[in-house]
Amino acid sequence: MQCNDPKCPHHGHLKVRGNVLTGTVKSAKAPKTVSVERILVKYVPKYERYKKTKSRVYAHNPDCIAAKEGDFVTIGETRKLSKTKSFVVLKIEKKADAETHVATAIPEAKNIKKEKVEEKTGKKKHKENAEKTEEAREEKGLHEKKDSKNEKNAKKEKK
How far apart, in Å, are the Cα atoms of 99 and each of 3, 11, 20, 23, 44? 28, 31, 30, 21, 39
Size, binding site for Zn ion by CB under 5 A: 6
Applying CB under 5 A, does 64 fall inside the site for Zn ion?
yes
Q: What is the C-alpha separation between 152 and 159, in angstroms, rounded?
A: 10
Q: Which stretch binds Zn ion (CB under 5 A): 11-19, 48-56, 114-122, 138-146?
A: 11-19
Among 11, 38, 68, 91, binds Zn ion (CB under 5 A): 11
Shortest Å distance, C-beta 20 to Zn ion: 18
8 sits near Zn ion (criterion: CB under 5 A): yes
Cα–Cα distance between 72 and 92 in angstroms, integer? 6
Looking at the DSSP assignment, which residues form a beta bridge with residue 27?
35
Minimum gap (Å) between residue 7 Cβ and Zn ion:
9
Query: Given the complex with Zn ion, which of 8 and 36 has the nearer CB atom?
Result: 8
The 8-class DSSP code of residue 14 comes to P
Query: What gap in Å lies between CA 139 and CA 149, rounded to an integer?
Result: 15
Binding segment (CB under 5 A) for Zn ion, from list 37-45, 55-63, 70-78, 92-100: 55-63
Task: Verify binding: residue 16, Zn ion, rule CB under 5 A.
Answer: no
The residue among 112, 40, 105 whose CA lies nearest residue 69 is 105
Other Cβ atoms within 10 Å of 21 Cβ, number: 17
82 vs 111, which CB is nearer to Zn ion? Answer: 82
* List 7, 32, 34, 62, residue binding Zn ion (CB under 5 A): 62
Give the binding site for Zn ion (CB under 5 A): 3, 8, 10-11, 62, 64
